[in-house]
Amino acid sequence: MILLFVLCGLLVGAGVITLAVGLRGTDPAAEPRPANPLASRAHTLWYGAPGAAPARVVRMRRVQLPLALAGAPLAWLFTGIPLTALLVPLAVFGLPWLFDSTRPDTHRVERLEALAEWTQRLADVLLLGVGLNQAIITSRRTAPAALEPEIAELAARLQSRWRPEDALRAFADSLADATADKVLAALLLRSGDSGPGLAKALADMADSVRDEVRQRRAIEADRAKHRTTIRWLVGIILLVIAIGSFNERYTAPYGTLAGQLVLGVLAAAFVAVIAWMRALASHPPLPRLIEPDRRSKAGTLPALREAEAAETEDPLLREAR
**pLDDT tens, residue by residue, 217-252:** 888 777 777 777 878 888 888 888 888 878 878 778
Per the document, the length of the chain is 321
Among the listed residues 283, 275, 311, 276, the one whose alpha carbon sits nearest the alpha carbon of residue 220: 283
More confident residue, 312 or 148: 148
Secondary structure letter of residue 293 according to DSSP: -
Region 83-88: what's the mean pLDDT? 84
Residue 271 pLDDT more than 80? yes
What pLDDT shows up at residue 281? 66
Q: Report d(CA 241, CA 8) in Å as an integer.
A: 23
Asked if 68 and 88 touch (Cβ cutoff 8 Å), the reply is: yes
Region 139-167: what's the mean pLDDT? 91
What pLDDT shows up at residue 156? 93
Side-chain half-sphere exposure of 25, counting CA atoms within 13 A: 13
Of 117-121, 194-198, 233-237, give the range with the top mean pLDDT.
117-121
What pLDDT shows up at residue 305? 45
Can you state the angle between helices 178-189 and 164-175, rounded to 10 degrees?
170
Q: Report d(CA 321, CA 8) in Å as an integer.
A: 64
More confident residue, 7 or 314: 7
Asked if 231 and 99 touch (Cβ cutoff 8 Å), the reply is: yes
More confident residue, 140 or 319: 140
Q: What values do phi and psi take at 123, rounded to 5?
A: -60, -40
Task: Give the model confidence (pLDDT) of 199-211 as tens digits.
Answer: 888 899 999 999 9
Report the range of poorest mean pLDDT among 54-58, 133-137, 172-176, 286-290.
Answer: 54-58
Q: Report d(CA 160, CA 148) in Å as an integer.
A: 18
What pLDDT shows up at residue 81? 82
Q: Report d(CA 162, CA 307) in Å as an integer.
A: 18
Q: Report d(CA 300, CA 45) in Å as an integer.
A: 26
Q: Report d(CA 187, CA 194) in Å as an integer.
A: 9
Report the range of poorest mean pLDDT among 49-58, 60-69, 294-303.
Answer: 294-303
First to last CA, the chain: 72
Residue 298 pLDDT more than 60? no
Report the range of poorest mean pLDDT among 10-19, 99-108, 240-249.
Answer: 10-19
Q: Report d(CA 243, CA 221) in Å as an integer.
A: 34
Residue 291 pLDDT more than 80? no
Side-chain half-sphere exposure of 33, counting CA atoms within 13 A: 12
The CA-based angle 194-199-128, given to 5 degrees, is 75
What pLDDT shows up at residue 18? 58
